[in-house]
Every structure is written in structure tokens, then in C-alpha cells.
Amino acid sequence: MSRISFIIILLVSFLVLGNESKGQNPDKYLFSNKIFNLQFLYNYHVPSGDIAKTYGNFNSVGTGGMFKLKNNWVFTGEFNYVFGADILKTQLFDNLITSGTNGYISSIGGAPANYSVNMRGYTGFVKGGRLFAWNKHNMNSGIMVNGGIGFIQHRINIQTQQIDIPQLDVNYKKGYDRLSSGIALSEFIGYTYQSQNRLINFYLGLEFIQARTFNRRGYNYDERAFDTGVKKDFTTSFKFGWMIPIYLNTKEENEFLFR
């Protein structure tokens, strides 16, 4: 089963759960509450724009907090660690490879060097938005829309398993790693579910990121050229967040709802 199919099945299942709750007896946790949610996040990103010239699809995991008001306005902050294995710059080290049909990057001793490349980075965002609940028996669940501003950084992570590879030492790596960063915008739309027993709390949907980044090295050794222009990096991601809620209503506020 593909990731997309799994996500669709999971979303439909919990939509059904939300509708079934209409027939249950209401309690004080089914109405709109002030809630602080500790979040644990996963994104599967599909890149486009300039970033797609360097990386294939990649992942991110993160954490953050979401504060939901009683009127269902939501405010969030999050930090995500970005990682991936698909590097599209296949000719990155061509100028370091020895001549011959079986060329390789040589260590000081002449043996093939042991190294690997992958993607690493991070994002951070602050966001605001609204939860649109359609089930009057559970005003803490429904369609959530939000957007915000933040920061993104990504690079080609060059890992050497040996210390005798002068071509890829700490300083020379910087000429190949495409370290880029800049301001980013984010928009999200998806379904949020917070159960009456507070055990199942999550949201699931699509997130869109648009960023203007710059190569912080300024010069690429493999291209033997300066790289100082602005990059337009975009991603579309399937986002899943698991939440641990802390209900902030006072006892008096909850009792008032049922007088």
C-alpha cells in the first residue's frame, strides 16, 4: 500500500469516527475548549522549483505547540528536522574522480575513498489559522486552515568515513554542499480530530511551502562558478501531527456550559 493510499484510508476512518460521536452523550470536553497541544510532526515532501534540481522527495520530523482558543482560532509554533537520501547532483564530484573507466575519489594512500551524500536541514514556523467544526457535539474537531512565516535551511550532507580524504575535508566540503537558507511561507489545510476521551488527537492534511533562499557559500567548486542569485524553493507535503492535549478551561467555565 502506498503512503498516499494509507493517508486517505486513515483520514476517512477518523471522519467516520467523528460522525459517530453525534449519538453519544455529551460531556464537558465535547464543546469548544481552550487547549494547548504538544505536537509531534511528520511530513513527506515533494519538492519543486530550484530545490527540485538538487533533491528528490524528502522527509521531515519535528515538534511544536498549538494553542486553540474557545472560538477555534489556532496559533502554532514548530521546528522540523529535514532529511533525505535522494541527491540529484550526480556529477557533484566529477572533478575529483581519477581518470580511467573505473575512476574514483582517491584517499591519501591511493585507495578508493569511503564517503556518502544525503540531504539535511531544518525548518521553523509560526502560524495562525482557524478550525472549522461541523459537528456541534465536538467543536474541537473539523477542518483546520492555517498559514505563517518561518525559516528554512538545507544542504548536501557529505559524510566521509576516513580522515585521509583531503579533497573532502571540513573546508573543501563547503564548496560542494550547496548550503542554502532563507525566509519561507507555509499554508496548511486538513482535518483535525480531538476525541472526547483525549486519547486520540491528531491532524492530517496538505502543507505548501514557498521559500526564497540563497546559497550561503557563494561559490560552487564543481561548477567553478559563483552562485549568488535568489532561489525559489517550493514543496508540497503530506503532513501528520500527533497531539497531546492540555485542556485549559477552568472548572467554573465548564460547569457554566450546562446550567
Determine, yes or no, domain membership for 67: yes
Predicted local confidence at residue 109, as pLDDT = 79
Identity of the amino acid at 115 = Y
What is this structure's pTM?
A: 0.83
Determine, yes or no, domain membership for 166: yes
* Residue 46 structural domain: 32-131+156-178+214-256
Query: Cβ distance 215 to 240 under 8 Å?
Result: no
CB-count burial class (<10 Å; 0-12, 13-18, 19+) for 156 = buried
Determine, yes or no, domain membership for 44: yes
pLDDT (tens, 9 = 90+) of the chain, 259 residues, equals: 555 555 555 554 544 454 444 444 445 545 688 999 999 999 999 999 999 999 999 999 999 999 999 999 999 999 999 999 999 998 999 888 887 667 888 888 788 888 899 999 999 999 999 999 988 888 899 999 999 999 999 999 999 876 778 888 888 999 999 999 999 999 999 999 998 888 999 999 999 999 999 999 999 999 999 999 999 999 999 999 999 999 987 554 554 444 3
Query: Cβ distance 254 to 32 under 8 Å?
Result: no
Determine, yes or no, domain membership for 19: no
Determine, yes or no, domain membership for 189: no
Predicted local confidence at residue 42, as pLDDT = 98
Predicted local confidence at residue 16, as pLDDT = 46
Determine, yes or no, domain membership for 194: no
Q: What does the block give as the cell for 114?
A: 569511503
Predicted local confidence at residue 82, as pLDDT = 98
Predicted local confidence at residue 255, as pLDDT = 47
Predicted local confidence at residue 11, as pLDDT = 52
Determine, yes or no, domain membership for 83: yes
Per-residue 3-state assignment (H helix, E strand, C coil) for the chain = CCHHHHHHHHHHHHHHHHHHHHHCCCCCCCCCCCEEEEEEEEEEEEEEEHHHHCECCEEEEEEEEEEECCCCEEEEEEEEEEEECCECCCCCCHHHECCCCCCCEECCCCCECCEEEEEEEEEEEEEEEEEECCCCCCCCCEEEEEEEEEEEEEEEEEEECCCCCHHHCHHHHCCCCCCEEEEEEEEEEEEEEECCCCCCEEEEEEEEEEEEEEECCCEECCCCEECCCEEEEEEEEEEEEEEEEEECCCHHHHHHCCC
Count structural domains, the chain.
1
Count of CB atoms situated within 10 Å of the CB of 9? 11
CA distances from 69 to 32, 104, 192 (A): 8, 59, 14
Determine, yes or no, domain membership for 146: no
Predicted local confidence at residue 230, as pLDDT = 96
